[in-house]
Amino acid sequence: MVRRIVVALGGNAILTTDPSAQAQKKALEVTAEQLMPLIEGNDTEMVVTHGNGPQVGNLLLQQLAADSEKNPAMPLDSVGAMTQGEIGFWTAQAFTRAMANHGLSAYPVISAVTQTLVDENDPAFKDATKPIGPFYTEEQLPEIQAQFPEWELMEDAGRGYRRVVPSPKPLEIIEAKAFAPILASGSLLIASGGGGIPVVKDGNGYKGVEAVIDKDFSAAKLAEMVEADELLILTNGGDVFLNYGKPDQVHLDTVSVAQMRTYIDEQRFAKGSMGPKVEAAVSFVERTGKIATITSLDNVENFVKFGSGTKIVP
């Protein structure tokens, strides 16, 4: 039986401390190697998705530094497309190499620039919550705010301050219906990177909107739309804990989706970091009756061998 899995890569899979292209490509080569146990020796179709939060903010900063009349900065949807293309290209090259190293290179890896439908009336457009770009210290805030008076800045999960932009919920991955034949062909597919380019309906077509979609929510929507058997969310840290970081923290192993929904309602998970991942995983399990796992990139081998990780089950 062919198993279909959607894997969402956390920030550290691409960018560690060095934001150069060379370092990000290197990080993705390591990541691709770490993911090989998922497809090696078993009949698995895999879709890989990834974030773009640091990259989309960094690219905007580069554009804002240019002459605004001769070389204007592009809108956020276009910058999202650029980073999706860029990271998708690096990721495709990294997987092509890793798969060849493991004798799995029968078909090309495909990286698609994809759009994600959102609701133009989504309340998120009036309440920016998605952190992008670099972190700033509290001391840097007055200078940044003077330089970019229109920016909203927010504290990001205890790690410093970042620019925040609207992040509407994904309703549909526009291109998803075309993915089944690609996966059936044996190609590994990279899609919906950076959450996908946010678009709204516009007559017979779509138009881009200024936002950045959360890649964990779009991964859940993608997994639902490609009828994946499993959603695997790989984070910087690892499995999910209750009372995270406190002396009485409790590791969550296998949890029913109803129990996890109760924990979400009780606001047991941090807003800017683990909260959206758990919420995305739960929404996938609720809608499909399939399994979602949250764990670390370093744990992929143990996930394959022993099923370790935080599993949310129907």
Ligand X SMILES: NC(=O)OP(=O)(O)O
Could you list the active site residues?
11-12, 130, 215, 277
Residues in contact with ligand ADP, shown as a per-residue x/- string from 10 to 39 under the rule CB under 6 A: xxx---------------------------
Which span (5-13, 22-30, 32-40, 55-63) binds ligand ADP, by CB under 6 A?
A: 5-13
214 binds, among ligand X, ligand ADP, none (CB under 5 to 8 A by kind): ligand X
Q: Quick count: other Cβ atoms within 10 Å of Cβ 226?
A: 22
Residues in contact with ligand ADP, shown as a per-residue x/- string from 228 to 247 under the rule CB under 6 A: -------xxx--xx--x---
Our finding on whether 73 is near ligand ADP (CB under 6 A) is no
Between the CA of residue 116 and those of 5, 171, 202, what are the distances in Å? 20, 7, 13
Minimum CB separation of residue 288 from ligand X in Å reads 21
Closer CB to ligand ADP, 11 or 208, in the complex: 11
240 binds, among ligand ADP, ligand X, none (CB under 5 to 8 A by kind): ligand ADP
Closest CA to 170 of 134, 130, 132, 131: 130
Our finding on whether 273 is near ligand ADP (CB under 6 A) is yes
Q: How would DSSP label each residue in 89-145?
A: HHHHHHHHHHHHHTT--SS--EE---EEE--TT-GGGGS--EEEEEEE-GGGHHHHH
Residues 169, 175, 178, 183, Cα dihedral to 10°: -60
Our finding on whether 259 is near ligand ADP (CB under 6 A) is no
Q: Which residue is nearest to ligand X (CB)?
A: 51
Minimum CB separation of residue 54 from ligand ADP in Å reads 9
212 binds, among ligand X, ligand ADP, none (CB under 5 to 8 A by kind): ligand X
Q: CA quadruple 262, 268, 272, 274: dihedral positive or negative? A: negative
Helix, strand, or coil (residue 88):
helix
DSSP bridge pairs for 111 = 190
52 binds, among ligand ADP, ligand X, none (CB under 5 to 8 A by kind): ligand X
What is the separation, in whole angstroms, between the first and last Cα of the chain?
21
| Site residues (vs ligand X, CB under 6 A) | 11, 51-54, 194-195, 212-215
Between the CA of residue 155 and those of 10, 54, 164, 166, what are the distances in Å? 19, 15, 9, 15
Residues near ligand ADP (CB under 6 A) are 10-12, 51, 235-237, 240-241, 244, 269-270, 273-274
